[in-house]
Structure 1
Amino acid sequence: MRRFWAALLGAALVAGCGSREPERVDPADHDAVFLWAGVPSSAVPKRARTVYLLAGEVRADDPGRLVSLRPGTPKGSGMSLWYTVRVERLDWEEGVYARVLADLARWREAGNAIEGLQIDFDAETRGLADYARFLEGLRRRLPRDYDLSITGLMDWSAQGHPAALARLAGTVDEVVIQTYQGRKTIPGYEAYMASLAQLPLPYRVGLVENGEWRPPAGLARDPEFRGYVVFLLTRPQAR
Structure 2
Amino acid sequence: MPFFFRLLALFAALTVLNGCNQPDAPPLDQQLYVWQRQWTPAHEAALRDSRADFSTLRVLALQAFPQDGWRRARIDPLLLRHDGRPLIAVIRLDGQLKTLDQDEVITQIQQVLGDWQTQGLTLAGVEIDHDAGNARLPAYRTFLTQLRSVLPATLPLSITALPAWLDSPELPGLLATVDSSVLQVHAVSDPRLGLFDPDQAKQWAKAWSRITTKPFYLALPAYGVALLPETGGAPVVESEVSIERAGKRRELLADPQQLSTLGSELRQHPPAHLAGLIWFRLPLAGDRRAWSLTTLGAVARGDALRSHPSLQLSEQNGLYDIAVTNQGNLDSAWPERLTLAVQGCDGADALAGYALQQSPDLLTFTRLRDGRMPAGGQRAIGWARCTHIDQGGSNVHP
Per the normalisation by structure 1, the TM-score is 0.73
Residue 185 (1) aligns with residue 196 (2): yes
Q: Which runs of 5+ in 1 are unaligned?
A: 1-28
**CA apart distance, 1:68:** 1.1
Matches within 5 A, 1:1-239: 31-38=30-37, 41=43, 42-44=45-47, 45-47=50-52, 48-61=54-67, 65-70=69-74, 72-73=76-77, 75-76=80-81, 77-88=83-94, 89=97, 90-92=99-101, 94-157=103-166, 159-161=167-169, 164-181=170-187, 184-186=195-197, 188-200=200-212, 201-209=214-222, 211=254, 212-213=258-259, 214-215=262-263, 216=265, 220-232=269-281, 234-236=283-285, 237-239=292-294
Q: Secondary structure at the match of 2:123?
A: strand
Distance apart, 1:129 and its partner CA = 2.0
Distance in 2 of aligned mates of 1:190 and 1:94: 37
Contact 2:31 2:56 in 1 (8 A): yes
Letter in 1 for 2:280: F
Indicate how the Cα distance of structure 1 residues 32 and 218 shifts in structure 2: closer, same or farther if over 3 A, else same.
Answer: closer
Structure-2 change in CA distance of 1:171 and 1:219 (3 Å): farther
What is the identity, as a one-letter code, of the residue corresponding to 1:193? A
Cα distance in structure 2, aligned partners of 1:174 and 1:219: 22
Choose 1 or 2 for highest CA Rg. 2
**Number of positions where the alignment pairs a residue of Structure 1 with one of Structure 2:** 206
User: Partner of 2:357 in structure 1?
Assistant: none
User: Relative contact order, CA 8 A, sep 6+: which one is greater?
Assistant: 1
Q: Is the 8 A contact 2:63 2:92 kept in 1?
A: yes
- Report the residue type matching 1:160 in the other structure: S
2:186–2:221 CA contact under 8 A, matched in 1? yes
Secondary structure at the aligned position of 2:77 is classed as coil
User: 1:93: Cα distance to partner?
Assistant: 5.7
Alpha-carbon deviations, 1:66-121, whole Å to 9, x = none? 32122653524320111111102342263442232132133234333311211111
> Contact conserved, 1:37 with 1:55, CA < 8 A, in 2?
no
> 2: distance between equivalents of 1:217 and 1:189?
11
- CA distance change for structure 1 residues 54 and 238 in 2, over 3 Å: closer, same or farther? closer
| Aligned alpha-carbon RMSD (Å) | 2.9
Q: Distance in 2 between matches of 1:49 and 1:218?
A: 17
Deviations 1:127-146 (A, max 9, x none): 32222122112112222121
